[in-house]
């Protein structure tokens, strides 16, 4: 019985099945678990992917992705689900979640959360991540040639726990004027994310994993996280494991970021570190992000910005979203298309003339996309006419 | 008050109603504010604490002395209320000096030497802080140190080592609790002559120092599930916001930015934000903005010049203040000040004790020196502060006598002597 089968049966039966075949994580069992994943389903030779445009610059970037895919004849159809983040009811996001369950894969723009609304209005993005149990957020920050930054030769992979930690949204006010917010760290999820990190490091041939924590202050919580990482590390002897406190990590990142290889951390530190790294390699317009779960995968920009202030001005940088769509194609095992589009994107980014405002240039989004399409056309495979 | 000698009673319906979380909140507040209020009734205990918090130090500000025109101010905080102006007469002012461990004593000596060369009207009172067990089994700092601080109200502290498994909390935490040091101020200004990839950094991080994620309240719910509690209170948030705006006003800063994550932590950071907004109403001359933590991090590493004063709760403050320290060159050159209730202020160097180079005359006294300059500005002695700061920056810019961590290979004493010489030349 696969996890997906278990998920589709009714609640009480689920409980029964889960108790009979409990998921056990640990150094010994983890490396043996994920040996086989079935290929993604194709109907009529084409994949269906859920597309959530989101707010701000989301819709225009989603259109560019569709335009590019149509141009390159990529066998992917998008099922568009619009989520209205201003509505109080959660129907929209539940429809989106259902669509993702149906298709297994999604490409998503960021949904804005108005933080002046009462706590009953939960963050839609967070809801999506926790409901689908997308436990690993992976962001690969690499220095790109042609983008001028203060630091060179950065190549950091950030793996962030995506579902628990500080983002549990459990808050209460027992006494007026005193608010408590709970941060939850569990052994299961920490082992799971640590195992994901080490497995990924092994697959990609990385040699060092650094756990980021604050266990000197939060001795039990982050202490548990660190302990789980150490336990998993013992099962991967070829990979060096070390740990660093989060404030020291940020200091090291701005002075010598080249020392980091793979970093694994709980939710909030992941937020800080991934944004710092994205800033170091050139900004939010360049880095794609991926959220992986047991059965689902959702791709988005790495730093999850809505870009409200530049919406509909044709100045947004489409690189992050387009690279995210390449990650999507890789996930669907359409590697040829993924590599073709990625090569075209990277060759466009090196051209300074076409840099958008966030990179210090004056190019427009449509110019960048046109240039990418031209680059794809020139590499040879059959495409639609420009 | 209940009898202090009695054991805490765990019976009663009141207790049963208090589920785990609330009980821990009360316990935290008890630990924080001392067990002299050992009420059995938890509600009254909490209210008692809230009342105590009302006793904030006055923020009424008399005329502000303008900072030097061509110098970037490295501090200068709230002006003193009129009643303690007696200690700021033209005569010598007493400062409690806590040398610390490791390289602490040598850098403290260096600072004292430089102050002597500058003829600053400071009388140093050296005190040691090692944790001792007071009556009632509570760990506390030695009473003579406490008495000295209470008298002089200003302290300068070197690095203190935190022994692991010593049974007592860290010394820094003890000091923080004893004097209710609620604000940690770190001005981060790029040092000309010490090259980092970031030039033109000029911002101040003001971090709430008493609560937030560092309350230390953690429980194991079931085996394998740990809950850590982040505490945000109205009073602490209002206090830090008021301090931030006062600081901005007194130091001619144009804007204050509140850093938060209220999209996820709606209630806690939402409360913090609301208090900041309320306080901003009373300071219309200072611009107030709010920004998400991740956006601040993203923009900080791309363009730190867009930030001015940042105010935030404990954890974000810890991360961001270290991030900003990294921008200007690390903890070895970053000053820091802790402001407490009742007018107490302790300025410190935030680097470690560096036991490997202790006693070898290799230490870099810049961090402690710049913190001392911050202290001079806080006390209103801007001329001396500017003089010493100029001398220090000139020495670093000259690059002739630099300690090892700044890229040279001179000794600490040579570095100090150079600064002393420049200070005397500036006279």
Give tens-digit pLDDT for B112-122.
Answer: 999 999 999 99
Given a cut of 60, whether residue B358 has pLDDT beyond it is: yes
Q: Which residue has the tokens 């589009």?
A: A341
At residue A13, the pLDDT reads 65
Of residues B235 and B130, the one with the higher pLDDT is: B235
Cα gap A318→A326, rounded to integer Å:
12
At residue B125, the pLDDT reads 93
- Name all contacts of A98-102 with Cβ < 8 Å and 24+ positions apart: A99/A50, A100/A50, A100/A128, A100/A132, A100/A296, A100/A298, A101/A132, A101/A296, A102/A50
At residue B55, the pLDDT reads 39
Give the sign of the dihedral formed by CA A287, CA A293, CA A298, CA A304.
negative
CB B211 within 8 A of CB B269: no
Give tens-digit pLDDT for A143-175.
Answer: 998 899 999 999 999 999 999 998 988 999 999
Smallest Cβ–Cβ distance between A224 and the set B25, B226, B233 belongs to B226
Partner residues linked to B93 by β-bridges = B122
Cα gap A181→A168, rounded to integer Å:
9
Please name the helix (run of DSSP H) or strand (run of DSSP E) that holds residue A184, with its range, or none.
strand A178-186
Given a cut of 80, whether residue B43 has pLDDT beyond it is: no
Which DSSP letter does residue A43 get?
B
Given a cut of 80, whether residue B253 has pLDDT beyond it is: yes
Which DSSP letter does residue A314 get?
T
The CA-based dihedral angle spanning residues B33, B38, B40, B42, taken in that order and rounded to the nearest 10 degrees: -10
Terminal C-alpha separation, chain B: 59
What predicted TM-score, i.e. pTM, was given to this entire model? Answer: 0.84
| B298/A278 CB distance under 8 A | yes
User: Percent of chain B having pLDDT more than 70?
Assistant: 78
Q: How many CB atoms lie within 10 A of CB B415?
A: 27
At residue B112, the pLDDT reads 95
Cα gap A155→A109, rounded to integer Å:
25
Which DSSP letter does residue B127 get?
-
Of residues B161 and B156, the one with the higher pLDDT is: B156
pLDDT bucket at B48, cuts 50 / 70 / 90: very low
Cα gap A98→A106, rounded to integer Å:
11
Phi-psi category of residue A165: left, alpha or beta, with phi > 0 → left and psi -120 to 50 → alpha = left
Q: What is the mean pLDDT of residues B316-338?
A: 94
| B231/A179 CB distance under 8 A | yes
Cα gap B290→A114, rounded to integer Å:
13
Comparing A16-30, A123-137, A197-211, A287-301, the range with the smallest average pLDDT is A16-30
Provide CB contacts within 8 A for A55, sequence distance 6+: A85, A109, A110, A111, A112, A306, A308, A311
Comparing A134-138, A288-292, B57-61, B240-244, the range with the smallest average pLDDT is B57-61
Residues in chain A closer than 8 A to B332 (CB atoms): none
At residue B89, the pLDDT reads 53
Comparing A8-12, A148-152, A310-314, B43-47, the range with the smallest average pLDDT is B43-47
Comparing A196-205, A334-343, B336-345, B347-356, the range with the smallest average pLDDT is B347-356
Give tens-digit pLDDT for A214-247.
Answer: 998 889 999 999 999 999 999 999 999 999 999 9
CB A263 within 8 A of CB A209: yes
At residue B193, the pLDDT reads 83
For residue A141 the two structure tokens come to 């920050």
At residue B17, the pLDDT reads 41
For residue B279 the two structure tokens come to 């306080």
- Determine the residue of chain A that is closest to B295 in CA distance: A275
Q: How many CB atoms lie within 10 A of CB A172?
A: 15
What φ, ψ does residue B337 adopt, rounded to 5°?
-135, 145
- Determine the residue of chain A that is closest to B19 in CA distance: A174
Of residues B210 and B40, the one with the higher pLDDT is: B210
At residue A36, the pLDDT reads 66
Comparing A87-91, A380-384, B178-182, the range with the smallest average pLDDT is A380-384
Q: Chain B closest CA to A275's CA: distance in Å?
A: 5
Residues in chain B closer than 8 A to A174 (CB atoms): 21-22, 25
| A178/B322 CB distance under 8 A | no
Given a cut of 80, whether residue B292 has pLDDT beyond it is: yes
Strands A288-292 and A136-142: antiparallel
Residues in chain A closer than 8 A to B176 (CB atoms): none
pLDDT bucket at B8, cuts 50 / 70 / 90: very low
Given a cut of 60, whether residue A18 has pLDDT beyond it is: no
Of residues B11 and A177, the one with the higher pLDDT is: A177
Residues in chain B closer than 8 A to A178 (CB atoms): 25, 46, 231-234
Given a cut of 80, whether residue A386 has pLDDT beyond it is: no
The helix/strand/coil state of B184 is: strand
CA neighbor of B314 nearest in space, from B207, B185, B231: B207
Given a cut of 80, whether residue B336 has pLDDT beyond it is: yes
- Determine the residue of chain A that is closest to B291 in CA distance: A115
Strands A178-186 and A208-213: unpaired
Smallest Cβ–Cβ distance between B267 and the set A181, A251, A276 belongs to A181
Please name the helix (run of DSSP H) or strand (run of DSSP E) that holds residue B238, with its range, or none.
helix B234-250
Of residues A23 and B372, the one with the higher pLDDT is: B372
The CA-based dihedral angle spanning residues B134, B135, B136, B137, taken in that order and rounded to the nearest 10 degrees: 30
Cα gap B339→B208, rounded to integer Å:
10
Comparing A372-376, B27-31, B408-412, the range with the smallest average pLDDT is B27-31
At residue A20, the pLDDT reads 56
Residues in chain A closer than 8 A to B233 (CB atoms): 177-179
pLDDT bucket at B164, cuts 50 / 70 / 90: low
Cα gap A41→A43, rounded to integer Å:
7
Which DSSP letter does residue B193 get?
T
Q: Measured between CB atoms, does B293 come within 8 Å of chain A?
A: yes
Per DSSP, chain A holds a count of helices (H) and strands (E) of 13, 12
Q: Chain B closest CA to A363's CA: distance in Å?
A: 20
Given a cut of 60, whether residue B255 has pLDDT beyond it is: yes
- What is the overall mean pLDDT for chain A? 90
Residues in chain B closer than 8 A to A172 (CB atoms): 21, 267
ipTM of this predicted complex?
0.88
| A283/B22 CB distance under 8 A | no
pLDDT bucket at B353, cuts 50 / 70 / 90: confident
Comparing A24-38, A203-217, B151-165, B245-259, the range with the smallest average pLDDT is A24-38
At residue A254, the pLDDT reads 95
Give tens-digit pLDDT for A244-254.
Answer: 999 999 999 99
Q: Which residue has the tokens 């909390």?
A: B169
Give tens-digit pLDDT for B182-203.
Answer: 999 999 999 988 889 999 999 9
């Amino acid at each position: 019985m696969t996890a997906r089968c278990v998920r589709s049966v009714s609640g009480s039966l689920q409980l029964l099945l889960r108790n009979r075949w409990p998921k056990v994580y640990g150094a010994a069992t983890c490396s043996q678990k994920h040996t086989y994943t079935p290929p993604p389903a194709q109907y009529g030779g084409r994949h269906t992917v859920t597309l959530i445009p989101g707010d701000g610059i989301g819709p225009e970037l989603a259109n560019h992705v569709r335009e590019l895919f149509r141009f390159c004849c990529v066998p992917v159809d998008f099922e568009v689900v619009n989520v209205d983040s201003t509505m109080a009811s959660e129907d929209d996001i539940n429809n989106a979640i259902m669509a993702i369950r149906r298709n297994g894969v999604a490409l998503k723009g960021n949904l804005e959360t108005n933080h002046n609304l009462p706590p009953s209005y939960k963050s839609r993005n967070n809801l999506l991540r926790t409901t689908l149990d997308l436990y690993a957020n992976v962001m690969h920050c690499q220095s790109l040639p042609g983008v001028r930054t203060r630091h060179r030769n950065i190549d950091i992979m950030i793996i962030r726990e995506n579902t628990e930690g500080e983002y549990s949204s459990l808050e209460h006010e027992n006494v007026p004027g005193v608010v408590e917010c709970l941060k939850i760290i569990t052994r299961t999820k920490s082992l799971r994310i640590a195992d994901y990190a080490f497995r990924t490091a092994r697959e990609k041939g990385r040699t060092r994993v650094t756990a980021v924590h604050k266990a000197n202050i939060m001795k039990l919580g982050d202490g548990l996280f660190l302990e789980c990482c150490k336990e998993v590390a013992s099962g991967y002897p070829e990979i060096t494991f070390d740990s660093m406190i989060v404030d020291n990590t940020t200091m090291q990142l701005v002075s010598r970021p080249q020392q980091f290889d793979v970093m694994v951390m709980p939710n909030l530190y992941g937020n800080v570190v991934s944004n710092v790294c994205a800033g170091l390699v050139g900004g939010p317009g360049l880095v794609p992000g991926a959220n992986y779960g047991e059965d689902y995968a959702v791709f988005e920009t790495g730093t999850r910005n809505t870009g409200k202030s530049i919406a509909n001005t044709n100045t947004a940088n489409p690189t992050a979203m387009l690279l995210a769509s390449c990650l999507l194609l890789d996930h669907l095992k359409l590697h040829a298309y993924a590599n073709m589009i990625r090569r075209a994107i990277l060759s466009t980014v090196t051209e300074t003339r076409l840099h958008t405002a966030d990179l210090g240039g004056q190019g427009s989004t449509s110019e960048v996309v046109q240039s990418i399409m031209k680059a794809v056309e020139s590499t040879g495979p059959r495409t639609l006419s420009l | 008050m209940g009898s202090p000698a009695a054991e805490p009673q765990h019976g009663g319906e009141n207790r049963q109603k208090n589920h785990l979380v609330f009980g821990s909140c009360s316990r935290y507040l008890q630990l924080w504010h001392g067990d002299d209020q050992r009420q059995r009734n938890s509600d009254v205990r909490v209210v008692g604490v809230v009342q105590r918090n009302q006793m904030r130090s006055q923020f009424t500000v008399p005329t502000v002395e303008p900072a030097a025109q061509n110098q970037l101010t490295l501090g200068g905080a709230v002006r003193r209320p009129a009643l303690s102006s007696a200690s700021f007469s033209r005569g010598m002012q007493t400062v409690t000096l806590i040398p610390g461990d490791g390289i602490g004593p040598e850098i403290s000596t260096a600072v004292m030497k430089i102050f002597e060369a500058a003829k600053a009207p400071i009388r140093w009172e050296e005190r040691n802080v090692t944790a001792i067990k007071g009556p009632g089994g509570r760990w506390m700092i030695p009473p003579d140190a406490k008495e000295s601080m209470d008298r002089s109200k200003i302290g300068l502290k070197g690095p203190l080592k935190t022994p692991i498994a010593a049974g007592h909390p860290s010394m820094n935490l003890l000091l923080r609790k004893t004097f209710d040091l609620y604000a940690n101020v770190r001005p981060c200004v790029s040092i000309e002559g010490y090259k980092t990839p970031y030039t033109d950094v000029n911002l101040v991080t003001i971090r709430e120092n008493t609560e937030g994620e560092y309350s230390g309240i953690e429980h194991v719910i079931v085996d394998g599930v740990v809950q850590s509690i982040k505490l945000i209170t109205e009073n602490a948030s209002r206090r830090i916001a008021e301090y931030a705006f006062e600081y901005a006003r007194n130091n001619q800063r144009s804007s204050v930015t509140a850093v938060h994550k209220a999209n996820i932590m709606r209630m806690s950071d939402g409360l913090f934000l609301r208090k900041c907004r309320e306080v901003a109403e009373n300071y219309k001359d200072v611009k107030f903005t709010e920004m998400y933590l991740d956006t601040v991090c993203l923009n900080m590493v791309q363009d730190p010049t867009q930030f001015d004063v940042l105010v935030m709760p404990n954890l974000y403050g810890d991360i961001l203040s270290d991030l900003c320290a990294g921008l200007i060159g690390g903890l070895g050159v970053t000053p820091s000040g802790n402001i407490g209730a009742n007018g107490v202020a302790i300025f410190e160097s935030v680097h470690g004790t560096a036991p490997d180079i202790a006693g070898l005359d290799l230490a870099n006294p810049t961090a402690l020196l710049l913190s001392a300059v911050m202290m001079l500005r806080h006390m209103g002695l801007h001329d001396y502060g500017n003089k010493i700061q100029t001398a220090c920056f000139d020495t670093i810019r000259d690059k002739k006598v630099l300690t090892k961590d700044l890229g040279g290979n001179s000794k600490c004493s040579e570095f100090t002597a150079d600064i002393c010489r420049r200070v005397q030349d500036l006279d």
